């Protein structure tokens, strides 16, 4: 998480009081032209403003706004309901992005960045399910700030209601290379608006915070079918035990595929492997081009959620195999953690 020292302040009057709104300048990130804005975040509104201050006032006046982007060439002001950075498929040189730090009156701060709470926005939730009475996360995708560890960093994650998305892949936009080191898989990487891996140490901490009582949902999008399986208990051991995963309580029905714990391809009890710390026994991270809890099987895994998007039938493609090892490519894949 990188914060800029540039702070924009806007004064607005509402009802009987005056409110001070603070904004931190963040990044404008270029996106591929063919990408849809719905991939990274739907805007609340588009309008024309005189300048960046006017755009900030407009955001402050909208109770659902937490971020805005201003284009000095077109004077277009775009408001968003959450998030840190702004994504665009247009020229970024004339655009600026600000995310809200606070909205306060003379007594307290009534509107904080999503994930923060308290009269001075001094507290932060540990995961999407760790909500305060002052925070309501709607049952839709939102960008939310969390801090799994008191001494750890603030993370921006994607939430679906009370579910924390710990891994997100899609065929379109933000093509992230998942052939990473052990340290990168431990710390996390990628772009929260597109594809990302939250980080093994953060997932371990979230589960630990909740007394090892978390549910893992695996959701696969084939075009146009969505398939999912849920595990009522998901536990991740610590780094010294190679972040071994323990899964139980699958809700897969008879004749449905249990993607992770079914038969000879079960990952239950398996350590995490990367190309520089391989516990698979069959060089699976190198063959699949990514880190994962690989079964102890010569075919490595039926599912490759960290594979490459180019589909040529090879082991390292972003795909799922049936029991006859016939490959089908994903449209998208998400791992949800509910605690």
| Predicted pLDDT at 34 | 60
Where does CATH 3.90.215.10 sit in the chain?
Answer: 125-338
- H or E element at residue 24: strand 17-25
| Predicted pLDDT at 26 | 95
| Predicted pLDDT at 208 | 96
Q: What is the DSSP string of 309-338?
A: SS-SS-TTBSEEE-TT--EEE-SEEEEEEE
What are the pLDDT tens digits along the chain (339 aa)? 333 446 687 765 555 456 677 899 999 988 776 665 555 567 899 999 999 999 999 998 898 999 999 999 999 999 999 999 998 888 899 999 999 988 777 778 878 899 998 888 889 999 999 876 667 788 888 999 999 999 999 999 999 999 999 999 987 766 789 999 999 999 999 988 888 999 999 999 999 999 988 999 999 988 788 888 999 999 999 999 999 999 999 987 655 667 788 788 899 999 999 999 999 999 999 999 999 999 999 999 989 999 998 777 789 999 888 777 788 888 889 999 999
Q: How far apart are CA 323 and CA 206, in angstroms?
A: 33
| Predicted pLDDT at 38 | 53
**Nearest 5°: phi and psi at 49?**
-125, 155
Burial class (CB in 10 A: 0-12, 13-18, 19+), 321: middle
Where does CATH 3.50.4.10 sit in the chain?
Answer: 7-111
Q: What is the pTM of this model?
A: 0.90
> 59 in helix, strand or coil?
helix
Where would I find the H helices in the chain?
52-61, 182-187, 200-209, 284-288
Q: How far apart are CA 263 and CA 22, in angstroms?
A: 54
Domain 7-111, CATH number (from 3.90.330.10, 3.60.15.10, 3.50.4.10, 3.40.50.150): 3.50.4.10
Homologous superfamily of the 125-338 domain (CATH): Gamma Fibrinogen, chain A, domain 1 (3.90.215.10)
């Amino acid at each position: 998480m990188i914060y800029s020292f540039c702070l924009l302040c806007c004064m607005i009057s509402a009802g009987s009081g005056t409110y001070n709104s603070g904004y931190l300048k963040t990044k404008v990130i270029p996106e591929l032209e063919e990408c849809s804005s719905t991939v990274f975040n739907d805007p609340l509104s588009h309008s024309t403003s005189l300048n960046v201050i006017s755009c900030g006032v407009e955001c402050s006046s909208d109770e659902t706004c937490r971020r805005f982007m201003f284009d000095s060439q077109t004077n277009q002001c775009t408001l968003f309901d959450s998030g840190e950075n702004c994504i665009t498929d247009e020229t970024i040189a004339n655009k600026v992005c600000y995310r809200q730090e606070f909205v306060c009156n003379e007594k307290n701060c009534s509107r904080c960045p999503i994930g923060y709470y308290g009269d001075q926005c001094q507290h932060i939730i540990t995961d999407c399910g760790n909500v305060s009475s002052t925070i309501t996360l709607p049952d839709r995708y939102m960008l939310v700030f969390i801090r799994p560890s008191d001494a750890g960093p603030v993370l921006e994650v994607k939430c679906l209601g009370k579910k924390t998305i710990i891994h997100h892949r899609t065929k379109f936009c933000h093509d992230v290379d998942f052939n990473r080191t052990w340290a990168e898989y431990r710390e996390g990487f990628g772009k929260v608006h597109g594809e990302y891996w939250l980080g093994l140490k953060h997932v371990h901490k979230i589960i630990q915070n909740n007394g090892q009582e978390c549910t893992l949902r695996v959701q696969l999008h084939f075009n146009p079918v969505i398939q999912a399986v849920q595990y009522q208990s998901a536990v991740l051991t610590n780094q010294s035990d190679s972040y071994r995963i323990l899964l139980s309580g699958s809700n897969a029905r008879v004749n449905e595929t249990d993607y992770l714990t079914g038969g000879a391809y079960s990952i239950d009890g398996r350590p995490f492997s990367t190309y520089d710390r391989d516990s698979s026994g069959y060089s699976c991270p190198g063959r699949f081009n990514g880190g994962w809890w690989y079964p102890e099987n010569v075919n490595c895994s039926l599912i490759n959620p960290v594979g490459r998007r180019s589909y040529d039938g090879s082991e390292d493609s972003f795909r799922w195999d049936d029991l006859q090892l016939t490959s089908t490519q994903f449209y998208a894949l998400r791992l949800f953690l509910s605690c």
